[in-house]
Structure 1
Amino acid sequence: MIDRRIKFRHVQCFVEIAREKSLKLAAEKLFLTQPAISKTLKELEEIIGATLMERSRSGVALTKEGQVFLHFAQMSLASLQQGLDGVERAGRREKERLTVGALPSVAAWLMPKVATEFAALAPDAILRIMDGPHGYLVDRLRLGELDLVLGRLGRPETMQGISFTQLYNEQVLFVVRPGHPLLDKPELRRIAEWQVIYPPEGSAIRPLVERYLIANGIGEIANRLETVSGAFGRVYTRQSDAVWIISSGVVANEIAEGRLVKLPFDTEITQGPVGLMTRPDAVATPVQDVFRIAVRNVVGMK
């Protein structure tokens, strides 16, 4: 049980002092006197039974105990603010909004099912979906323009400051139109005889594809067109003899409906995790939690 002697003013004062690194500045921000805010901090330390901050002429510094308490104090204040915002929105009957980024590997196959499930679970929420390449969407997530991103795990250097929760694994496929001449004699070394739609530099699957081709004795493919555009790839591949190298999720519907054909190459080593990406410092809102439930419900149906 939480000690009932801890009041909101204790937590608020502590967080503000930690933010300003000064009793004087924190007092001014909260419209309190310095003796009053110092007394409040002392009361909190006595209740907890630990020194949370060390005072010096240069200001205040958190102790190890203070660092631990600050993390949860900030989360508590953020959650309380979200609750107040939620009450205000409910009073105005304003719909909650959620902006989600979807990489090509999930935009066409997974997102429509998730959107349907989410609409059933949160009919009053407005879902905004933005698709695009990995780097673009992750940058939008870091900037706070996106609440979540759903897609394949990127390279380590692109995932700095991003939290990733894996949902399932997905592999890369080689697909062609029905009746393609390569289907008569499907050998991997022959793909260079036709134009190849290839993942561009910076895409999540590019390193996997390069390693796979090298492992199978295939060097650089000269006649190639680089894109991760699912809309372009679907149309161009059906209207040409191009061989498309792409994540399975992008073409799952087309393969199931017979509009594209998967070449019988063993690409198991190209498997990679697909999941939810978030900012680790962001506190999940109720509508985000509902979206996570919708995603897990859909993935569980696979």
Structure 2
Amino acid sequence: MLNARIKLRHLQAFLEVARHRSFARAAERLAITQPGMSKTIRELEESLGASLFERTPKGVALTQAGLTLLRHAGPAMRALEEGVAAVGDAHRGVRRLRVGALSTVESRLLPEAIRRWHAEPGGQNDVGVHVVSGSSAFLLSRLRRGELDLVVGRMTEAREIRDLTFEHLYYEPLLLSVRSGHPLAAISPLDPARLGDFPWVLPPPQTTLRQQVDSFCVRHSLVLMSQRLETLSLPVSRGYTLESDAIWVAPEEAIAEDLAAGRLCRLSVDLESQGGSVGLCFNASMQSSLALEEFCEVLREVAAGMMLERSTT
């Protein structure tokens, strides 16, 4: 039985501090004073008999007890919110899936799956899809808190997966590409040392994809120019690469169309041997829905079709 001293406001305050890693920002979010936020968290800690947060140079961090509570409180609060919302939505026919998308699936897998899912006869035509993009750390933290139903992309090396469930779909390599006519485009074999003579377009630091780039640079004693573009935005990366001499680190799916059309050229240097595992990530503590299960099945079908195409080309 839930401790009678623990109120809804305690859990709301806890989740906001866990989300923002700051008492001040959490207090602002809930429109209360910072002392009031501190008092609420202190009451919760006293009721639980455990410390939930610890101070760090960057704000506050969850203790082990805090992480344990977060795994349960996030999905529980989300389920309560959905239950309340469902009462009204039942009258308005409002339903949606909340999907986190990493850049590795934004170009083809996810758009094609959504299109096919909505087009299927007798399918979930009345269910909307809300897509959130970002880094693996950001999306997986939202999945853990119950704010997303599913995260799709390349993430098996992300430390943030921990207690979440990952299902592999296929391997997706990162490629080095440049615009047509680039000075390095026709060179084969290409000495990796020459890559340091040009600006790069690459994922931001602390992302799963950037770890692969950093590992590549270490293996080849490569020092990149300070002139670089760091982003997860595919349109920004593509536009910059096509109009400059930059080298773009991109998932194969993201540049396949431009490679086929001759707008981009793949450099004759392999960034990694096999590629990373692209798949589906779930929060097993959250109750699944028929809509989510059907959508995941479509994702599996689209992924299988993509792999079949690759094996025949």
CA distance in 2, matches of 1:260, 1:164: 32
Matched residue type, 1:101: G
What amino acid is aligned across from residue 233 of structure 1 in structure 2? S
Superposed CA offset, 1:7-61 (max 9, x none): xxxxxxxxxxxx4489xxxxxxxxxxxxxxxxxxxxxxxxxxxxxxxxxxxxxxx
Instruction: Name the SS for the 2:184 alignment partner.
Output: helix
Range moving further from structure 2, 207-216 or 193-202: 207-216
Per the alignment, residue 116 of structure 2 pairs with 117
Tell whether the 8 Å contact from 2:143 to 2:282 is kept in structure 1 after alignment. yes
SS of 1:182 mapped into structure 2:
coil
Q: Mean alpha-carbon deviation: is it higher for 292-301 or for 156-165? A: 156-165
TM-aligned CA distance change 1:270 to 1:196, over 3 Å: farther
Q: Does 1:146 align with 2:148?
A: yes
Query: For 2:245, what is the secondary structure of its paired residue?
Result: coil
Q: Cα distance, 1:185 vs. partner?
A: 2.4
For 1:282, the equivalent position in structure 2 comes to 286
Contact 2:156 2:276 in 1 (8 A): no
Matched residue SS, 1:267: coil
Say whether 1:185 aligns with 2:187.
yes
Correspondent of 1:164 among 147, 161, 166: 166
Contiguous gaps of at least 5 residues in structure 2: 5-79, 307-313
Q: Could you say which residue in structure 1 is the equivalent of 2:105?
A: 106
CA gap 1:185/1:227 in 2 versus in 1, 3 angstroms: same
Give the 3 Å change call, closer, same or farther, for CA 129–20 of structure 1 in structure 2. closer
Separation (CA, whole Å) in 2 of partners of 1:156 and 1:135:
7
CA contact (8 A) 2:166 2:279 kept: yes
Give the Cα separation in 2 of the matches to 1:254 and 1:99: 30
CA deviation string 1:124-146 (max 9, x = no partner): 21111122222222222222221
Instruction: Give 1:177's aligned amino acid.
Output: R
Aligned length: 224
Alignment of 1:203-242 (within 5 A): 203-242=207-246
4+ long deviations beyond 3 Å: 19-22, 87-93, 219-223
CA 1:93–1:189: 2 relative to 1, 3 Å? same
- Any idea what SS the aligned residue of 1:169 has? strand
Structure 1: gaps of 5 or more residues:
1-18, 23-80
Rg larger in structure? 1
Pair 1:89–1:301, CA change in 2 (3 A): farther
Cα drift, residue 118 of structure 1: 1.3
Give the SS at the match of 1:269.
coil
Q: Provide the C-alpha distance between the structure 1 equivalents of 2:162 and 2:132, rounded to a whole number of angstroms.
A: 21
TM-score normalised by structure 1 residue count: 0.67
Letter in 2 for 1:226: E
Shift of the 137–90 alpha-carbon distance from structure 1 to 2, 3 Å rule, reads: closer
Q: How far apart are the structure 1 equivalents of 2:271 and 2:196? A: 17
Is the 8 Å Cα contact of residues 208 and 270 (structure 1) preserved in structure 2?
Answer: no
TM-score (norm 2): 0.65
The answer to whether the 8 A contact 1:109-1:249 is kept is yes
2-structure distance, mates of 1:147, 1:123: 18
